Homo-oligomer: A and B are copies of this chain.
Amino acid sequence: MTSKHITLKNIKIDDPFWNGIIDLVRKEVIPYQYEALSDCVNGAEKSYCIENFKKAGAVVSALKKGETPPVYPVDKWQYTDDNCDENAFHGWVFQDSDVYKWLEAVGYSLTNHFDAELKNKADEIIDIICAAQLENGYLDTLYIINDREKCFTNLRDFHELYCFGHLAEGAVSYFNATGERKLLDAALRFADLICDTFGEDKIRGYGGHEIAELALVKLYEITGEKRYLDTAEFLVLERGKKPYYFDVEQGKKTTGEYYHYNQAHRPVKQQDEAVGHAVRAVYLYSGMADVAKYKNDAELYTACNNLWKNIENKKLYITGGIGSTVDGEAFTFDYDLPNDLAYSETCASIGLVFFARRMAELGVKSNYADVAERALYNAVLAGMSEDGKRFFYVNPLEVNPEASKRDSRKHHIKPVRQKWFACACCPPNLARLISSVGEYAYGENDDTFFVHQYIGADVKSKLGAVKITSSYTDDGRVEIIVSPNKKMKLALRIPSWCSGYELSHNCEISDGYAYIEIDGKTVVTARFNNEPRLVKCSNRVRANVGRAAVMKGAFVYCIESVDNGEDLQMLVLNKDAKFERQGEFLIADGKREKPCDSLYFDYSEADVTPCKIKLHPYYRWGNRGENEMCVYIRVE
Q: Which A residues lie at the B interface, using CB under 8 A?
A: 312-314, 316, 318, 324-325, 327-328, 332-333, 336, 340-341, 400, 402-403, 406-409, 499, 533-542, 545-546, 548, 567, 569-570, 575, 593, 595-606, 634-635
Contact among B318, B340, B403, B538 for A598, CB-based, below 8 A: B538
From A400, A569, A598, residue with most partner B Cβ within 10 Å: A569
Contact among B314, B597, B598, B603 for A533, CB-based, below 8 A: B603
Task: List the 3 closest pairs (A to B, CB-CB), nearest first.
Answer: A534-B603, A538-B596, A333-B406
**Known A-B contacts A535-B603, A567-B539, A600-B536; A407 and B336 likewise in contact (beta carbons under 8 Å):** yes
Residues of B within 8 A of A601 (CB): 535-536, 538
Residues of B within 8 A of A533 (CB): 602-603
**Known A-B contacts A341-B409, A634-B546; A600 and B535 likewise in contact (beta carbons under 8 Å):** yes
What is the predominant secondary structure among interface residues of chain A facing chain B? loop
A546 & B546 in contact (Cβ 8 Å cutoff):
yes
A409 & B327 in contact (Cβ 8 Å cutoff):
yes
Chosen A-B contacts, 11 in total, with CB atoms closer than 8 Å, are A312-B599, A328-B408, A336-B406, A499-B602, A535-B600, A536-B604, A537-B600, A545-B634, A546-B634, A548-B603, A603-B635
Query: In the assembly, what is the distance between CA of A538 and CA of B603, in Å?
Result: 11
Residues of B within 8 A of A403 (CB): 332-333, 336
Query: In the assembly, what is the distance between CA of A605 and CA of B548, in Å?
Result: 11
| Minimal beta-carbon separation of A119 from chain B (angstroms) | 44
B542 & A400 in contact (Cβ 8 Å cutoff):
yes
**Known A-B contacts A336-B403, A402-B333; A569 and B539 likewise in contact (beta carbons under 8 Å):** yes
A539 & B499 in contact (Cβ 8 Å cutoff):
no
A599 & B537 in contact (Cβ 8 Å cutoff):
yes
B595 & A540 in contact (Cβ 8 Å cutoff):
yes
A409 & B540 in contact (Cβ 8 Å cutoff):
no
B341 & A536 in contact (Cβ 8 Å cutoff):
no
A539 & B407 in contact (Cβ 8 Å cutoff):
no
Query: In the assembly, what is the distance between CA of A596 and CA of B313, in Å?
Result: 11
| Minimal beta-carbon separation of A390 from chain B (angstroms) | 26
- Apart from A539-B569, A539-B595, A575-B603, list 9 A-B contacts with CB within 8 A: A327-B408, A332-B403, A333-B406, A333-B407, A538-B597, A538-B599, A539-B596, A540-B567, A575-B605
| Minimal beta-carbon separation of A50 from chain B (angstroms) | 35
| Minimal beta-carbon separation of A15 from chain B (angstroms) | 26
Query: In the assembly, what is the distance between CA of A137 and CA of B336, in Å?
Result: 55
Query: In the assembly, what is the distance between CA of A450 and CA of B597, in Å?
Result: 29
How many subunits of this chain does the assembly comprise? 2
Residues of B within 8 A of A328 (CB): 408
Residues of B within 8 A of A325 (CB): 407-409
Residues of B within 8 A of A538 (CB): 595-601
Residues of B within 8 A of A313 (CB): 599
Query: In the assembly, what is the distance between CA of A599 and CA of B408, in Å?
Result: 30
A570 & B595 in contact (Cβ 8 Å cutoff):
no
Residues of B within 8 A of A635 (CB): 603
Residues of B within 8 A of A408 (CB): 325, 327-328
Query: In the assembly, what is the distance between CA of A541 and CA of B570, in Å?
Result: 10
A593 & B409 in contact (Cβ 8 Å cutoff):
no
Query: In the assembly, what is the distance between CA of A332 and CA of B408, in Å?
Result: 9
| Minimal beta-carbon separation of A359 from chain B (angstroms) | 17
Q: Closest B residue to A596 by CB, please name it.
A: B538
| Minimal beta-carbon separation of A140 from chain B (angstroms) | 31
A332 & B406 in contact (Cβ 8 Å cutoff):
yes
Residues of B within 8 A of A545 (CB): 569-570, 593, 634
Q: Closest B residue to A605 by CB, please name it.
A: B575
Query: In the assembly, what is the distance between CA of A289 and CA of B403, in Å?
Result: 30
Q: Closest B residue to A335 by CB, please name it.
A: B599
Query: In the assembly, what is the distance between CA of A539 and CA of B593, in Å?
Result: 8
| Minimal beta-carbon separation of A635 from chain B (angstroms) | 7
| Minimal beta-carbon separation of A346 from chain B (angstroms) | 21
A596 & B540 in contact (Cβ 8 Å cutoff):
yes
From A324, A545, A606, A634, residue with most partner B Cβ within 10 Å: A545
A316 & B603 in contact (Cβ 8 Å cutoff):
no
Residues of B within 8 A of A327 (CB): 408-409
Query: In the assembly, what is the distance between CA of A545 and CA of B634, in Å?
Result: 9
From A325, A537, A546, A599, residue with most partner B Cβ within 10 Å: A599
Residues of B within 8 A of A312 (CB): 599
| Minimal beta-carbon separation of A39 from chain B (angstroms) | 29
Query: In the assembly, what is the distance between CA of A400 and CA of B409, in Å?
Result: 19
| Minimal beta-carbon separation of A369 from chain B (angstroms) | 16
A599 & B407 in contact (Cβ 8 Å cutoff):
no
B602 & A536 in contact (Cβ 8 Å cutoff):
yes
Residues of B within 8 A of A314 (CB): 599
Residues of B within 8 A of A406 (CB): 332-333, 336
Residues of B within 8 A of A606 (CB): 539
Residues of B within 8 A of A407 (CB): 324-325, 332-333, 336
Query: In the assembly, what is the distance between CA of A404 and CA of B534, in Å?
Result: 32
A539 & B603 in contact (Cβ 8 Å cutoff):
no
| Minimal beta-carbon separation of A115 from chain B (angstroms) | 41
Q: Closest B residue to A316 by CB, please name it.
A: B599
**Known A-B contacts A327-B409, A407-B336; A318 and B602 likewise in contact (beta carbons under 8 Å):** no
Query: In the assembly, what is the distance between CA of A546 and CA of B538, in Å?
Result: 18
Q: Closest B residue to A549 by CB, please name it.
A: B600
| Minimal beta-carbon separation of A634 from chain B (angstroms) | 5
Q: Closest B residue to A547 by CB, please name it.
A: B546
Query: In the assembly, what is the distance between CA of A499 and CA of B604, in Å?
Result: 14
Query: In the assembly, what is the distance between CA of A318 and CA of B601, in Å?
Result: 10
Query: In the assembly, what is the distance between CA of A314 and CA of B597, in Å?
Result: 9
A536 & B603 in contact (Cβ 8 Å cutoff):
yes
